[in-house]
Amino acid sequence: MSDAEERAQSPEVAPVPFELLDETDVADLGSLSYRQLVWRRFRKSKLALAGAGVLIALYFITLFADFFAPYNYQTDNMLMRYVPPTHIHMMDSGRLRWPFVYALRSIRDPETMELSFVDDTAHAYPITLFHHGDGYRIFGLVGSNLHLIGSDGPFYLAGTDRMGRDLFSRILFGGRVSLTVGLVGVFLSIILGSLLGIVSGYRGGWMDVVIQRIIELLSAFPTIPLWMALAAALPAGWSGLQVYFGITVILSLLGWGGLARQIRGKVLSTRDADYILAARAAGAGQWYVITRHLAPMAYSHIIIIATLSIPGMILGETALSFLGLGIRPPMTSWGVLLEEAQRVTVVLHYPWLLISALPVVVVVIAYNFVGDALRDAADPYSA
């Protein structure tokens, strides 16, 4: 694959300005390993560091969503349907107070019959740290009912949905699915892509031809429609977990082609390099050459492509779930949450439902920043 094409597949993004290493650095450059050099470059991009920080924080929070979310994602309250985001008050009759919320009173508009909520200032509830709320078990082991933050009153940071479930909590729990779908999907496509790419490049011959034709064929389908068709084929009786893995397999099924092609190109260009020939002359077997010499060379490449293709998979899951073909309730993901915001009339009346879009955008941007800086850092020897 030519240079231009390679660039074309993964658009060059952030203009991460790399000043040449300053003089003190140059002195000990030679003694640094490849990994250290890459890290040196990577950390120069503030955007990428910020992105990485955001991602780590988000993965951590969603992993312990039970604790960080004020409610369980399935806790519903039919009296609190479509409640707008809660006002958090700090002033009480002119005096500063520990943050608190008021109880809500629902009022029905006599003309439109629409329900709306107003603060009931007679009842105030403080917001408490380490609040005792819905019970849960961490990893099914340790039981607890502690939540980082919560209140005995209505405490809906992002409002509630049509079943009176707290949207903020649902976003945190939904992140478990949305954030990991990309990881698992990319993992699968890396295995498929690097294996087939290396085989295709190293063995050549009819295997190469067959693999390349398959890749061409897969790329002849428009992504989303093919994903839709495959997702629609998932049996209706499947459990949440089965559907989850089904979706990741579908997402990775189309993702490996590009990776395989690039790795094949890399392998082709080094297959006859001196050190490979030397290894072979010394009696190294095919498997040894592939795992010890060819695969490590492609590692950096694989990691970059993986990072850059995760956002696509996250968006893919979101889009599929949004269309009602992906993750199925009661399991929740950001796409599932957005599905409820699909109809314009709903969004007009309950605009806070769109808040679920925010984490999607943040995560995708963060991944793009990180992937982009990684791509620049992967070649630390160039200026």
Partner 1 sequence: MRNYIIRRILLAIPTLIAISIIAFVIIQLPKGDFLDQKVAQLEQQYGDSSSIAQADALRHRYGLDKPMPERYIHWVSGFVRGDFGESFRYEREVKDLIWERLGFTVLLSIGSLIFTYLMAIPLGIYSATHKYQWGDNALTFLAFLGMSLPGFLIALCIIVLVYKVFGVPLFGLFSPYYQAQVGWSWAKVGDLVNHLWVPIIVISLNGVAGLMRVMRGNLLDVLGEPFVRTARAKGLKESVVVVKHAARIAINPLISMMGMSLPDILSGTTILSIVANLPTVGPLLLQSLQDEDMYLAGTILLFMSLLLIIGNLLADIALAWADPRIRYE
* Least distance in angstroms from the C-beta of 2 to partner 1: 9
CA pair distance 377, 230, nearest whole angstrom: 37
In the complex with partner 1, the residue whose CB is nearer, 140 or 225, is 225
Q: How far from chain centre, in Å, is Cα 41?
A: 24
* Least distance in angstroms from the C-beta of 85 to partner 1: 17
* Least distance in angstroms from the C-beta of 84 to partner 1: 16
From the list 214, 185, 125, the residue with the least C-alpha distance to 316 is: 185
Q: Quick check: 310 and 365 in contact, CB under 8 A?
A: no
Q: What beta strand segments (E) does the chain contain? A: 89-92, 95-108, 115-138, 142-151
In the complex with partner 1, the residue whose CB is nearer, 150 or 335, is 335
Helix, coil or strand: residue 235: coil
In the complex with partner 1, the residue whose CB is nearer, 168 or 334, is 334
In the complex with partner 1, the residue whose CB is nearer, 12 or 92, is 12
Q: Quick check: 13 and 335 in contact, CB under 8 A?
A: no
Beta pairing class for 89-92 and 142-151 = unpaired
In the complex with partner 1, the residue whose CB is nearer, 127 or 363, is 363
In the complex with partner 1, the residue whose CB is nearer, 218 or 284, is 218
* Least distance in angstroms from the C-beta of 23 to partner 1: 23
CA pair distance 365, 360, nearest whole angstrom: 9
Placement of tokens 């009912």 in the chain? 145
* Least distance in angstroms from the C-beta of 61 to partner 1: 20
In the complex with partner 1, the residue whose CB is nearer, 21 or 364, is 364
Main-chain phi, psi angles of 146, to 5 degrees: -80, 135
Tell me which amino acid residue 85 is: P
* Least distance in angstroms from the C-beta of 365 to partner 1: 4
From the list 96, 116, 97, 98, the residue with the least C-alpha distance to 106 is: 116
Q: Is 244 left (phi over 0), alpha (psi -120 to 50) or beta?
A: alpha
Return residues touching partner 1 (CB under 8 A): 4-5, 7-9, 11-15, 17, 216-217, 219-226, 228-230, 232-233, 235, 311, 315, 318-319, 322-325, 338, 341-342, 344, 347-348, 351, 354, 357, 360-361, 364-365, 368-369
- For residue 13, what are the contacts with CB-CB under 8 A and spacing of at least 6? 368, 372
* Least distance in angstroms from the C-beta of 51 to partner 1: 10
* Least distance in angstroms from the C-beta of 209 to partner 1: 13
In the complex with partner 1, the residue whose CB is nearer, 332 or 356, is 356
Q: Which two tokens stand for residue 250?
A: 């579908």
What is the CB neighbour count within 10 angstroms for residue 143? 9
